[in-house]
């Protein structure tokens, strides 16, 4: 069994990206399990708080899930042509102290959706700097940009477009095969 930790970079209840991650779990091929982690509850990083209280429970849980995973799927929104702050903050927390070791050599795939016409092209590009710094193994063979999310998801954030679901299934299978 191949286990992939999936993280959505949005906290919104009906997030398109959380819906995309749920759909990725649904279309994962046999022998592949996508475990959906949550960045909800991760506090803003504060070195003084870390020194006084250690790793927050939400971060410890993410690191536990990361340690158990063979790969990582980041499903990123794009805010102001870049990485969402709340998502970057969670990754920053996860890479502190002992957590940093979890990133070295970890296969990572990026995808995301947005209401605009370019999907999450710029956010995905920005993530590459972070992934390089963390010594991950980004999956270069696949890239999935999903534009015009408002036409592809229902009001609860569920993927309803069959063509996008097929492309997502191919993307997940391709990544899983390299993990």
> How far apart, in Å, are the Cα atoms of 129 and each of 75, 88, 108, 125?
16, 12, 13, 8
Report pTM.
Answer: 0.97
When pLDDT is averaged across residues 48-68 and rounded to a whole number, the result is 97
Continuous segment of H or E residues that includes residue 164: helix 162-178
| pLDDT tens string 136-172 | 999 999 889 999 999 999 999 999 999 999 999 999 9
Domain covering 2-178, topology: Rossmann fold (3.40.50)
Residue with tokens 């250690």: 54
How far apart are alpha carbons 2 and 131 in whole angstroms? 21
Q: Is 131 helix (H, G, I), strand (E, B) or coil?
A: helix
Q: What percent of the chain has pLDDT over 70?
A: 100
Mean pLDDT across the stretch 87-107?
Answer: 97
What does the domain layout of the chain look like in residue ranges? Answer: 2-178
pLDDT of residue 157: 97
């Amino acid at each position: 069994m191949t286990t992939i930790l999936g993280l959505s970079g949005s906290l919104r209840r009906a997030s398109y990206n959380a819906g995309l991650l749920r759909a990725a779990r649904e279309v994962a091929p046999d022998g592949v399990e996508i475990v959906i982690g949550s960045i909800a509850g991760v506090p803003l990083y504060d070195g003084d708080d870390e020194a006084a209280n250690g790793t927050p429970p939400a971060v410890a849980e993410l690191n536990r899930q990361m340690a158990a995973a063979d790969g990582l799927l980041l499903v990123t929104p794009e805010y102001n042509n870049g990485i969402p702050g709340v998502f970057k903050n969670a990754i920053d927390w996860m890479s502190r102290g002992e957590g940093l070791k979890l990133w070295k050599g970890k296969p990572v795939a990026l995808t995301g959706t947005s209401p605009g016409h370019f999907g999450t092209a710029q956010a995905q590009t920005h993530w590459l700097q972070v992934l390089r710094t963390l010594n991950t193994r980004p999956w270069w063979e696949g890239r999935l940009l999903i534009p015009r999310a408002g036409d592809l998801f229902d009001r609860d954030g569920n993927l309803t477009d069959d063509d996008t679901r097929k492309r997502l299934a191919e993307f997940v299978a391709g990544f899983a095969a390299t993990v």
